[in-house]
Amino acid sequence: MSEPIPVTVIGGYLGSGKTTMVNHLLRNANGLRLAILVNEFGELPIDEDLIEAQDDDIISIAGGCVCCSFGSDLTDALMDMAALDPRPDHLLIESSGVAIPSAIVGSLSLLNGFRTDGIVILADAETIQASASHKYMSDTVLRQISDANIIVLNKVDLVNDKILDGTFDWLAELNRDVRIVKTQYGKVMPDVVLDSFLGKETAEGPSHHTADIAGMTLKIDGRFDVEKLACTLADSENGLIRAKGFVTSICGQKMLIQVVGNRWDTSTASDNMKDGIVCLGFKGEVLKGLQALVNSMAVETAFQE
């Protein structure tokens, strides 16, 4: 049986920069087969130099990536994605500016063959607070913020430091468990959005770095209460944006741990996978004491033959 396709839902109000970020991810896919689902092609214009072919239903993009319009029928489009050969490594669903991302996640939960990786919300640093107080927009904008596992605070170059800091703190107050990544022009490192990058980097650690974000690989020695470990890594105090890797459970089963912001998941894995967890987080936080914390959680076990 094939592994479920990881799905990231990308949301954010109109003009927040979703289109720009998706094109940036396509340009930096580095061999990953990405599939993009959008309501209508007109809502997500793929940069022309990336397009290899186009018909009524699908755009073929350089590097084996595709973009598909689902209109009003998301379920059928998802089934088409699952039937692709080769299958995509990661699926991005770009929701419309007025959509509620958690509703899309609810639809995904009803389908086999997919795994919700997380909800990434883009926020325009210049306009997000005004949008959140607008009499017609506020309910949608505030719900999008509350749904987020990761917020990409975009267009930070358009505001001064005082406004930026105030907006950051305001977002953190609205969603206390969210991880907020600052950027401009939608340029966010793919490791932040796609678990598939972390999966390929388990041995060496993430290959992409920015001034504010650092990566490390936790050495895993011993057996663990896997759910407790995953929950600990997802705690906002540890400053992780993402984590993915393999550990051995108390009963000896190899397990996969995946963390996106405050969201975590565990599943069984092949016994031949090497223990270790790749982590991505904020410098000054992610590296501070995390290895020692994980070491302290190892469980001593005694098994009788």
C-alpha pair distances (Å), 253 with each of 246, 268, 273? 10, 7, 11
Q: Is residue 204 part of a domain?
A: yes
Nearest CA to 243 out of 268, 262, 260, 266 is that of 260
How far is CA 49 from its chain centroid? 26
Q: Which band of pLDDT confidence, cut at 50, 70 and 90, is reported for residue 58?
A: confident
Sequence-separated contacts (24+) of 49-53 with Cβ below 8 Å: 50/23, 50/26
Quote the percentage of the chain above a pLDDT of 70: 90
- Which pLDDT score is estimated for 1? 57
**Of the candidates 126, 155, 188, which is a domain's last residue?**
188
Quote the percentage of the chain above a pLDDT of 90: 60
Strand spans (E) along 39-155: 51-54, 58-61, 65-69, 90-94, 114-124, 150-154
**Of the candidates 188, 210, 229, which is a domain's last residue?**
188
**Of the candidates 129, 162, 188, which is a domain's last residue?**
188
Cα angle 131-134-139, degrees, rounded to a multiple of 5: 85
Q: Based on the domain organization, do 184 and 199 belong to the same domain? A: no
> Which of 68-82, 120-134, 195-209, 228-242 is most confident?
120-134
Distance CA 240, CA 285 (A): 8
How far is CA 189 from its chain centroid? 11
In the predicted model, what is the mean pLDDT of the chain? Answer: 88
Q: Cβ(217)–Cβ(277) under 8 Å?
A: yes
The CATH number of the domain holding residue 71 is: 3.40.50.300
Q: Based on the domain organization, do 172 and 23 belong to the same domain? A: yes
- Give the residue with greater pLDDT, 267 vs 238: 267
One-letter amino acid of 216 = M
Q: Based on the domain organization, do 74 and 40 belong to the same domain? A: yes
Q: Based on the domain organization, do 145 and 273 belong to the same domain? A: no
- Which pLDDT score is estimated for 302? 42
Q: Based on the domain organization, do 17 and 149 belong to the same domain? A: yes
Residue 288 has pLDDT above 90, yes or no: no
Q: Which band of pLDDT confidence, cut at 50, 70 and 90, is reported for residue 206?
A: very low
Q: Based on the domain organization, do 111 and 234 belong to the same domain? A: no
Nearest CA to 223 out of 263, 182, 196, 255 is that of 255
Q: Based on the domain organization, do 152 and 216 belong to the same domain? A: no
Q: Based on the domain organization, do 108 and 176 belong to the same domain? A: yes
What is the total count of domains within the chain?
A: 2
Q: Which residues pair with 59 in a beta bridge?
A: 54, 67
Distance CA 198, CA 203 (A): 10
Q: Which residues pair with 122 in a beta bridge?
A: 152
Q: Based on the domain organization, do 174 and 286 belong to the same domain? A: no
Q: Is residue 21 part of a domain?
A: yes
Nearest CA to 88 out of 61, 110, 109, 70 is that of 61
Q: Is residue 302 part of a domain?
A: no
pTM: 0.89
The CATH number of the domain holding residue 251 is: 3.30.1220.10
Average confidence (pLDDT) over 164-180: 95
Q: Is residue 305 part of a domain?
A: no
Residue 88 has pLDDT above 60, yes or no: yes
- Lowest mean pLDDT, pick from 38-47, 241-250, 265-274: 38-47
Which residue's structure tokens are 């759910």?
Answer: 227
Domain residue limits at 67: 5-188
Residue 32 has pLDDT above 60, yes or no: yes
Q: Based on the domain organization, do 155 and 275 belong to the same domain? A: no
Q: Based on the domain organization, do 158 and 16 belong to the same domain? A: yes
Q: Based on the domain organization, do 130 and 155 belong to the same domain? A: yes
Q: Which band of pLDDT confidence, cut at 50, 70 and 90, is reported for residue 92?
A: very high
